[in-house]
Amino acid sequence: MTNILFDALFDPLREKSTPLLILQDGRIISGQAFYGMITQAAGALREMGVNPGDRVAVQVDKSPTALAIYGAVVAIGAVFLPLNPAYQAEEMDYFIGNSTPRVLICDPAKNGMLAPVADAHGAVLQTLAADGSGSFAQRMSGHSGGLTVVPRQGDDLAAILYTSGTTGRSKGAMLSHDNLLSNAQTLEQLWRFTDADVLLHALPVFHTHGLFVASNVALLAGAQMIYLPGFDAAQVVGLLPQATVMMGVPTFYTRLLALPNFDRALVAHMRLFVSGSAPLLAETHHAFEARTGQKILERYGMTETNMNTSNPYDGERRAGTVGFPLPGVALQVMQDGQAVGPGEVGVIEVRGPNVFQGYWQMPEKTREELRADGWFITGDLGMRDADGYVHIVGRAKDLIITGGYNVYPKEVEMLLDDVPGVLESAVIGLPHPDFGEAVFAVMVAQKGATLEPAAILDSLRPRLARFKQPKGLVVLDALPRNAMGKVQKAELRKTFARQFDT
């Protein structure tokens, strides 16, 4: 019996003397050296009593050691639980209380804040800084022997990732070895990854995109990674000549386009740019192609499923869409329990080997969203066009019902984004005494532009049915976003909740 995820991603590194990680300061970590780090981390975790099935929670800044801990947790058959470094004590108390990890590893600066949380829930607290120092690093240094890998089957739990929790408490999505490996194998083939690739990795690793898409696919293919602690546009431009592939969120691409030295010649050698985690505006897609001659490949995934769809590697990468279901993934668009046809909007459901096992300690939520026949109700509104491309319209919870009519925010946002001087927009529903909900628009101006809300509202009148027209519009300096660049509409609804009070 083997450990299928470890054997596919990490075991090949044992004899790999060539570079695996290229760091921002120019240092190189070979595959062999990284395997040694995994061995040390696994020894330290075992010494602290971590057994197969135990959770290991990690709330640290991105670093090679943090990635090695992921490999170590997989190796010893435990469950990896990455947490956003931005979470504060009260949030962490919920996550640690819910997941009850054996070990919690945090940044040294948070030791004082998290010690009471760890004590309250019986977790051993260790520290790890971005520079590799800390109490866990000291423990690692005492373990340089061989690595005994614990056998794991495909349906064994490999990780728990908490959803962003925009409504209610965050839910811990349970992901198996098969969930993670099957998705990585599909993407490796679909996106043509090989050991000749160099991935520019500037994403965080507490999230599906940076950890289970970027890292897993690169490891599976035997590719190298330019492993950056975060995204800095000027730094990325300087390092792109060494890369062949880049994965990012839409903000990465808009920031690159703002640099005058980001041009066609700079990326002529690149074979692929991928975007996800938040919708990529069609305007950004077209501007990127005009500047570089390359079309960004947009795809669609979730914490609970990893990736579900992708625009094609060969063929038309259609702006404003997320492409087609991945091989092995079934997708249906549902309204009132029935599948709808092309052009009709409904809730997207998916089924396949990528779909998670359920929500940790939440059987009722699991039954609500994961059907017994394997279909997962994503909560995303979408449609398939006549050519089969999937369009994401928004979240079902963002659907606006005004005067009994349904308004899909994306339709209004697309028109607002086309207005000269508009950088981006968000459309939400707010309580209204007459209509139940009213359509309300929030906009951000391009640098140097001035927006006149009244004039913009006037411009929409001939283009939208009256019930779809915003009953109010404000201009902000920026839209609230989470760490992965998703607009936080719940925050906007909270901020402007009393806009139509009488």
Residue of 163, 156, 171 lying closest to 361 (CA atoms) = 171
pLDDT for the residue 164: 65
Q: How far apart are CA 475 and CA 117, in angstroms?
A: 40
pLDDT for the residue 283: 86
Q: How many structural domains does the chain have?
A: 3
**Which of these three, 395, 414, 438, is where a domain ends?**
395
| Position 108 in a domain | yes
| 331 shares its domain with 452 | no
DSSP class of 242:
G
User: Which residues is 200 bridged to in the sheet?
Assistant: 226, 246
| 391 shares its domain with 413 | no
pLDDT digits over 380-427, tens only? 999 999 999 999 988 788 888 887 677 878 889 989 999 999 999 999
| 385 shares its domain with 404 | no
CB 500 within 8 A of CB 472: yes
17: three-class secondary structure by DSSP: coil
Show the tokens assigned to 134.
């800390």
Residue of 209, 384, 169, 220 lying closest to 302 (CA atoms) = 209
Q: How far apart are CA 491 and CA 476, in angstroms?
A: 13
| 414 shares its domain with 390 | no
Indicate which CATH number applies to the domain containing 352: 3.40.50.12780
| Position 124 in a domain | yes
| Position 192 in a domain | no
CB 136 within 8 A of CB 91: no
Say what the alpha-carbon torsion angle 265, 266, 272, 277 is, to the nearest 10 degrees: -130
pLDDT over 50 at 278, yes or no: yes
| Position 500 in a domain | no
| Position 160 in a domain | no
| Position 173 in a domain | no
Quickly state the pLDDT bin for 257 (edges 50, 70, 90): very high
pLDDT digits over 98-144, tens only? 999 999 999 999 999 999 999 999 999 999 999 999 999 999 998 87
**Which of these three, 351, 376, 395, is where a domain ends?**
395
237: three-class secondary structure by DSSP: helix
**From 188-192, 234-238, 273-277, 281-285, the region with the lowest mean pLDDT:** 281-285
SS (H, E, C) 418-444: CCCCEEEEEEEEEEECCCEEEEEEEEE
pLDDT for the residue 166: 42
Single-letter code of the amino acid located at 469: Q
Q: Cα angle at 48 between 303 and 73, to 5 degrees?
A: 30
Q: What is the mean pLDDT of residues 268-273?
A: 96
| 139 shares its domain with 218 | no
pLDDT for the residue 167: 44
| Position 502 in a domain | no
pLDDT for the residue 502: 58
| 105 shares its domain with 202 | no
pLDDT for the residue 501: 79
| 343 shares its domain with 320 | yes
CB 326 within 8 A of CB 301: no
Indicate which CATH number applies to the domain containing 427: 3.30.300.30
Show the tokens assigned to 253.
């691409």
Q: How far apart are CA 329 and CA 349, in angstroms?
A: 10
| 253 shares its domain with 299 | yes
Percent of the chain with pLDDT over 70: 98
Scan for tokens 């062999």, then name that residue: 32
pLDDT digits over 145-176, tens only? 789 999 999 999 999 999 865 445 789 999 99
pLDDT for the residue 445: 94
pLDDT for the residue 168: 56
Residues in the chain, overall count: 502
Complete DSSP assignment for 185-218:
HHHHHHTT--TT-EEEE-S-SSSHIIIIIIIHHH
Q: What is the mean pLDDT of residues 322-326?
A: 98
Give the predicted TM-score (pTM) of the model: 0.86
| 366 shares its domain with 221 | yes
| 353 shares its domain with 447 | no
| 89 shares its domain with 212 | no
Start-to-end C-alpha separation, the chain: 68
Measured from the Cβ of residue 455, the count of other Cβ atoms closer than 10 Å reads 9
Residue 186 or residue 482, greater confidence: 186
Q: How far apart are CA 210 and CA 134, in angstroms?
A: 24
CB 464 within 8 A of CB 415: yes
CB 302 within 8 A of CB 378: yes
CB 158 within 8 A of CB 175: yes
- Alpha-helix residue ranges (DSSP H) falling in 340-486: 363-369, 409-417, 453-460
pLDDT digits over 39-67, tens only? 999 999 999 999 999 999 999 999 999 99
Q: What is the mean pLDDT of residues 335-347?
A: 93
pLDDT digits over 193-207, tens only? 999 999 999 999 999
Measured from the Cβ of residue 469, the count of other Cβ atoms closer than 10 Å reads 18
Q: How far apart are CA 122 and CA 124, in angstroms?
A: 7
Range of the domain at 126: 4-152
| 428 shares its domain with 310 | no
Quickly state the pLDDT bin for 462 (edges 50, 70, 90): confident
- Helix, strand, coil shares of the chain as percentages rounded to 5? 35, 25, 40
Q: Which are the contacts of 106, defined by CB distance < 8 A and separation ≥ 6?
A: 59, 60, 114, 125, 126, 127, 128
Q: What is the mean pLDDT of the chain?
A: 93
Q: How far apart are CA 2 and CA 335, in angstroms?
A: 43
**Which of these three, 362, 395, 428, is where a domain ends?**
395
- Alpha-helix residue ranges (DSSP H) falling in 258-376: 282-292, 363-369
| Position 170 in a domain | no
